[in-house]
Amino acid sequence: MPLIVLLGCQWGDEGKGKIVDLIAKEADLVARYQGGNNAGHTVVIDDATFILHTIPTGILHPETKCLLGNGMVIDPEAFSKEIKELEQHGIAVDTNLMISETAHLVMPYHKLLDLVQEKKRGKGKIGTTGRGIGCSYGDKVTRQGIRVLDLRNKDRFVKKVQANLEFYKPLFEQIYSTNSFAADDIIQRVWKYADMFNSLAVDGVSVINQYIEQGKNIMCEGAQGIHLDIDFGTYPYVTSSNPSPGGVCTGLGISPTKIDRIFGVVKAYTTRVGEGPFPTELTMEQGDNLRKLGSEYGATTGRPRRCGWFDAPLVRRAIQISGTREVAITKLDVLDTLDTINVCTAYRCNGRTVDIFPFGIDADDNYEPIYEELPGWKTCTEDITDFDALPEKAKAYLHKIEELISAKVITVSVSPKRGKCITLIDHFF
């Protein structure tokens, strides 16, 4: 039985939560492989809206087990809060959740460092979610990170925190002119979660490989999107992990040969939160219009999302990197009322035509989108469950996207509500 990866092909918030939820009902295990609570994956079930930040979206299915992979960074305070909120809704969390013992922790000083660094960057800020994500990954890479398994032994944990605070104290006090933390305060704040972590911690690599050996259905849930990838995104306006497929192998400990299928999630237009280049961004009235129609406000920080037209070169790059030939298109319904819809087919830059999103693109670079205007369908698609029942112009829009990105649409989401999708394949697994 297959292992499926589902990842975002734009700048995050493509509607991955909604699609993961759709597929997770057939999955035995849903595993997150990167990121932390910078993610916000939304599922709307009847009157309740669930926003998953650290915990895989699969947790909303009682028969599905969930794993937080070693490639993740976990904020104990936010994680504990998320568990409590889910439990208040009657979701069985502790029986279905496992954490890889080698995942890293986001410590309180990472959150402070994220904020003061952003402040210091001033106009050059990245627009991070302020969750300490990049700073935790920074400690991982410089080999001073604290991992879930460090919560097994208090002496070891205390020594690591003390050493890290010796490192951070002058940085906070002398460079950022802010108060540092007392080691005892940090130890107290974090150690209180040790029992919770110890009860959920597993050898995540063995767990997922056993699921593979047993032929179970596994879904790997990407957070963020390929254009926020630390290697392939619009650096430095990126996150600090690899949403791209390589991250699945390093973030869960599985061989690339075990990945059977990769699905891309693509919004029917484009959005981005935070700073960085965005060639098809709409600045004036139309950006606001799309924001209102699509309720484009960040699921994690509540920030208004920047909105723009569908950008084929952007998605083409994501398709190239991920190798996916199958995509889920989300939020088609958001375009239901528009008279005309633009699609960017390529860019023009210094007299050249560029058909794939370039690396190193700068705000000063003039990548001018070349648009093709398509007629709107002016019909509500929200209740449509069958592709053939879609208005002809909506079908033409979807076929145009397929043609431009050389990938097949496997499902079309037409509402935030659970299950409201037009699915064109018989089985996901």
Name the residues that contact ligand IMO, by CB under 6 A: 8, 11-13, 38-41, 126-129, 131, 133-134, 223-225, 228, 237, 239-240, 273-274, 299
Residue number, 41 or 147, with CB nearest to ligand GDP: 41
Quick check: 268 and 10 in contact, CB under 8 A?
no
Interacting stretch for ligand GDP, rule CB under 6 A, among 37-45, 184-192, 204-212, 351-359? 37-45
18 binds, among ligand GDP, ligand IMO, Mg ion, none (CB under 5 to 8 A by kind): ligand GDP
Residue number, 250 or 301, with CB nearest to Mg ion: 301
Shortest Cβ 61–ligand GDP spacing (Å): 16
Residue number, 375 or 419, with CB nearest to ligand GDP: 419
239 binds, among ligand IMO, ligand GDP, Mg ion, none (CB under 5 to 8 A by kind): ligand IMO
Residue number, 129 or 217, with CB nearest to ligand IMO: 129
φ and ψ at residue 167, rounded to 5 degrees = -70, -40
Residue number, 40 or 264, with CB nearest to Mg ion: 40
Catalytic residue numbers, as ranges: 13, 41
Shortest Cβ 339–ligand GDP spacing (Å): 19
Size of the site for ligand GDP (CB under 6 A): 22
Q: What is the CA radius of gyration of the chain?
A: 22
127 binds, among Mg ion, ligand IMO, ligand GDP, none (CB under 5 to 8 A by kind): ligand IMO
Binding map of ligand GDP across residues 17-36, x = CB under 6 A, - = no contact: xx------------------
Report residue 412 as tokens.
């079309």
Report residue 35 as tokens.
């990121």
CA 120/CA 139 separation, integer angstroms = 20
Tell me the residue nearest to ligand IMO as measured from the CB: 274
Among 13, 21, 28, 150, interactor with Mg ion by CB under 5 A: 13
Place of tokens 């460079």: 175
Applying CB under 6 A, does 413 fall inside the site for ligand GDP?
Answer: yes
Q: Which residue type sits at 20?
A: V
Applying CB under 6 A, does 299 fall inside the site for ligand GDP?
Answer: yes
Among 299, 318, 390, 421, interactor with Mg ion by CB under 5 A: 299
* Cα-based torsion angle of the residue sequence 10, 16, 22, 28 in order, rounded to the nearest 10 degrees: 110
* Cα-based torsion angle of the residue sequence 9, 264, 369, 229 in order, rounded to the nearest 10 degrees: 20
Applying CB under 6 A, does 41 fall inside the site for ligand GDP?
Answer: yes
Applying CB under 6 A, does 13 fall inside the site for ligand GDP?
Answer: yes
Residue number, 10 or 70, with CB nearest to Mg ion: 10
Shortest Cβ 301–ligand IMO spacing (Å): 7
Residue number, 219 or 223, with CB nearest to ligand IMO: 223
Interacting stretch for Mg ion, rule CB under 5 A, among 40-48, 70-78, 329-337, 374-382? 40-48
Among 96, 242, 270, 330, interactor with ligand GDP by CB under 6 A: 330
Applying CB under 6 A, does 414 fall inside the site for ligand GDP?
Answer: yes
CA 418/CA 429 separation, integer angstroms = 19
Binding site for ligand GDP (CB under 6 A): 8, 12-18, 40-42, 44, 295, 299, 330-331, 333-334, 413-416
Write out the residues near Mg ion by the rule CB under 5 A.
13, 40, 299
